[in-house]
Amino acid sequence: MRDQRTVRCTYYLESEIPPEKAAALMAGEQSSGTFVPVPGESARIRERHAAQIVEVEELGVCPPSLASRAAPEKVRAALVTVDFPMENIGTDLATLHTTVAGNLFELGDLFACRLEALTLPEEFVSAHPGPAYGIGGTRELIGAAPGVLIGTIVKPNVGLSEDEFRLVVRELARASIDVIKDDELMTDPDYLPLERRVAVATEEIAAAEQVTGHPTMYAFNITGDLKGLRKRHDTVVRAGGRCVMLNIPVMGIPALEWLRSFTEVPIHGHRAGLAASMRAKGVGIDYQVWQQLARLAGADHLHVSGLGSKFYERDAQVTANVQSLLAPLGKTTTPLPVLSSGQNVTTPAPTFDAVGSTDLLMLAGGGVAAHPDGPAAGVRSLRAAWAAAVDGVPLTTAAAGRADDGDTDLLHAVQAFGRN
């Protein structure tokens, strides 16, 4: 039985040197070792502080994924599992990050080094509060909204005047949409400052709620300098805003952790920039790893890309992303997976088939704004598409049935976005 006081990592490695030796080099660099033996690296230190190689699974010869100083003759790949002593790390997220995903990516003897899996001991997990709201807390703030939550991004992403912005929010809020969010590019520009966006959006949402009875949640992007983060959060909360958004990879996990320590509303976690350290086969980290850091740091909503999206991840990977978020992480509250990019009425069915859950937020940008009958019809068409998906009714059947009853929202969406 393994020592519960270790952090277990599985890396995909490629090297010219034998996999065991490559693994030892990496484990040494990330714990008590250096490139040459130094005085003072005592048996006590090695025993208590050295990372332990638990398993090396050889995967055979392969073309090298990355360039390096060495000229590869024969590179072999392996999956290597390593245990890092918690004594080195404590329960600090930044120290964990540095240990499991720091200098090791620099090693010239490796032609690939990618952190594929991370298993944290209970002691580490329980030191962090995790999401304050998650799925349940988010639903409550949207009038106990059931099923898949439907959201959109204010489009165009950038450039709207205050009056144009007001009309977009008004139309969406009156359509009883669950969530509206800022684009990740939209922060606090002079032409439409955050303070004005907050004032306008909360006003429009409150007015619409008087009519619809449905409280729309707006995720205001408070990404920006840390000095002003609390002030921007307070601006949202004081105006009655129900959500703040952070571009987590750009801001850093510690910024998320800090925001969590004082936030009074859910944190919508965007992943803009994450692909820079996730997309290459040969280097970086897997989503499964990153989401654990983001959950422990307190993200209530986390982006996962989307099935059938315009982004690079294939549907199986997106499904795995969702499943990793819905899987337990100690006793922390479960965060809300956010599907985005190219989402429209054609995506609910394959998404529900793959993930088997309606604990999701589906963000459709063009899929709402570009509906031929307008954004309100876009929202209704997505709700109809999700109802069909959950009931197992084919999309075109559902669209035709509703059209027969005089409701053409879904039919027109299928005609506009259908891909057959």
Q: Within positions 345 to 384, which residues make up the interface with a copy of itself, using CB under 8 A?
A: 365-366, 369-370
Q: From the list 2, 231, 238, 310, which residue makes contact with a copy of itself (rule: CB under 8 A)? A: 310
CB of 350: closest distance to a copy of itself in angstroms?
14
Cβ-contact 13, 77 below 8 angstroms: yes
d(CA 371, CA 142): 24
62 binds a copy of itself, rule: CB under 8 A: no
102 binds a copy of itself, rule: CB under 8 A: yes
**Nearer CB in complex with a copy of itself: 155/214:** 155
- Contact range with a copy of itself by CB under 8 A, out of 10-18, 34-42, 116-124, 390-398: 34-42
- Contact range with a copy of itself by CB under 8 A, out of 106-114, 201-209, 230-238, 327-335: 106-114
Q: From the list 66, 175, 244, 329, which residue makes contact with a copy of itself (rule: CB under 8 A)? A: 66
d(CA 91, CA 291): 17
Phi, psi of 366 (to 5 degrees): -60, -35
User: How far, rounded to the nearest angstrom, does the alpha carbon of residue 238 sit from its chain's CA centroid?
Assistant: 27
d(CA 50, CA 177): 53
Q: Considering only residues 250-289, where is the footprint of a copy of itself by CB under 8 A?
A: 250-255, 257-258, 261, 272-277, 279-285
- Contact range with a copy of itself by CB under 8 A, out of 39-47, 131-139, 323-331, 388-396: 39-47
30 binds a copy of itself, rule: CB under 8 A: yes
Cβ-contact 218, 256 below 8 angstroms: no
Cβ-contact 400, 218 below 8 angstroms: no
What does the per-residue mask of binding to a copy of itself show for 40-59, with x meaning CB under 8 A? xx--xx--xx----------
When computed from its CA atoms, the radius of gyration of the chain, rounded to whole angstroms, is 24
Q: For residue 344, which of 360, 323, 365, 324 has the smallest C-alpha distance?
A: 365
191 binds a copy of itself, rule: CB under 8 A: yes
Q: Considering only residues 116-175, where is the footprint of a copy of itself by CB under 8 A?
A: 155-160, 164, 168
Q: For residue 280, which of 2, 103, 67 has the smallest C-alpha distance?
A: 67
Size of the site for a copy of itself (CB under 8 A): 97
3 state SS of 61 = strand
71 binds a copy of itself, rule: CB under 8 A: no
Look at the block and give the residue holding tokens 């990977």. Answer: 317
